[in-house]
Amino acid sequence: MTEASVREFKMPDVGEGLTEAEILKWYVQPGDTVTDGQVVCEVETAKAAVELPIPYDGVVRELHFPEGTTVDVGTSIIAVEVAGGAPAAGAPVQEAVEPQAEEPAAHGAGRQAVLVGYGVATSSTRRRPRKGAEARTPEARTPEAAKAVQSELNGHGGTPAAPAVPAAAPAPAAAPAGQARPLAKPPVRKLAKDLGVDLATVLPSGPDGIITREDVHAAASRPKAPEQAEPEARPAPAVPDRAAPPATAVSYDTARETRVPVKGVRKATAAAMVGSAFTAPHVTEFVTVDVTRTMKLVEELKQDKEFTGLRVNPLLLIAKALLVAIKRNPDINASWDEANQEIVVKHYVNLGIAAATPRGLIVPNIKDAHAKTLPQLAESLGELVSTARDGKTSPAAMQGGTVTITNVGVFGVDTGTPILNPGESAILAVGAIKPQPWVHKGKVKPRQVTTLALSFDHRLVDGELGSKVLADVAAILEQPKRLISWA
């Protein structure tokens, strides 16, 4: 094997100028066969967790960094021996992996490392048989032959009994180090991960021993035997791989302190908040408002056929109220350009929504929210929240925000003094909406009341402008018909 036949896959820039990423999980090990577009690892940047596909075919030679390592962009993370032609039927895999001088150029010319789903070119190369001393002929990889082998491995001489995979761990689970992992396409691997299915315990039914979606569903429907649960258990890592520990991480009976590395989203959030708090002079104003009519409108919209299947809640009308207030006071939608000593007024609104996720606080934004109708805004809000909860928010979705809403009311909090998202001039905090005694038409009555807090950058937003915006939002929520007269 010559040095020219080894390809080095470097950590790509997975998020608009970020300089580093942490390797969360390797999906391959040395000796595994990989194909163009196959996901080889998951990495976490300061903005998102993404999966990285390999851009060529070959056999993994070396993983340069273990899981949990933070690697600079442009640093090689995995070495792959590029593959040769397809092996003849029944030939050992080792003999089939011979490099060709032209293959690196054929697979790498003009390619850029890209993210999953961002347009990796389809490869015409077939997936090679699994590496190992037990390489089988195509005939031996048929479902019937696989079942026979599986039965034989578990001590059965005749036809295997249903289910096809017995309670005892099958051979792949006890495979020696260096043998390739079970063959499955990335979507199937994701399905298995979501269902909690170990691919090593799944009997493949696809061609060349590839595991299909049906195989994963079949494995998920089978009850797990007690002896299978033990190998799955792993000791808790000494250092959590997420920014913040769970609420129950500290046991007062066993430890007095837990140290959590500051990295990923937590590290980026800390740096951004410190930079924002000590760069932009913050001013926060408050207003308490009767939103009873807004809450009634929310219930009416839920019954409207135009909103069928859409998420309709108070946040939808609060967002619309803020957009109308910005339209009436456009100078609030701006940013401070320190280098050029200019105030940049934006003629579009990318509305950020602060979202608490398992990875920490993120602020994706709705692009051109000012141009959306109320149903379109409801659809965008629903997609933003669902994507954030699933941990699938892309780095691009968190770039370019102009103003932000943070809904602390969902935690039962009355209000707060939010810190500006860096590069923005204002952020609106929405408190809990709850019944309170309120003077309405000269009488004290129970009304739905909330408190709004608007923080703004006092370099470019003076008290008059900030007060007008907050007052307009409150006025709309008190009398939602102003959405028609002011829009």
Q: Which residues of 254-267 are buried (b: 16+ CB within 10 A; e: fewer)?
A: eeeeeeeeebbbbb
Tokens 């952020």 correspond to what residue? 427
Nearest C-alpha neighbor of 380 from the set 464, 319, 298 = 319
Query: How far, in Å, are 61, 92, 124, 131 from residue 134 at the CA level?
Result: 20, 8, 26, 8
Would you list the DSSP string of 277-306?
HTTS-EEEEEEEEE-HHHHHHHHHHHT-GG
Dist. CA 413–CA 432, nearest whole Å: 6
**Tell me, what DSSP letter sits at residue 315?**
H
Dist. CA 83–CA 94, nearest whole Å: 10
Dist. CA 272–CA 419, nearest whole Å: 10
Dist. CA 413–CA 399, nearest whole Å: 28
Tokens 């920490």 correspond to what residue? 360
Dist. CA 423–CA 457, nearest whole Å: 10
For residue 458, indicate whether it is catalytic.
yes
**Tell me, what DSSP letter sits at residue 86?**
P
Active site residues: 458
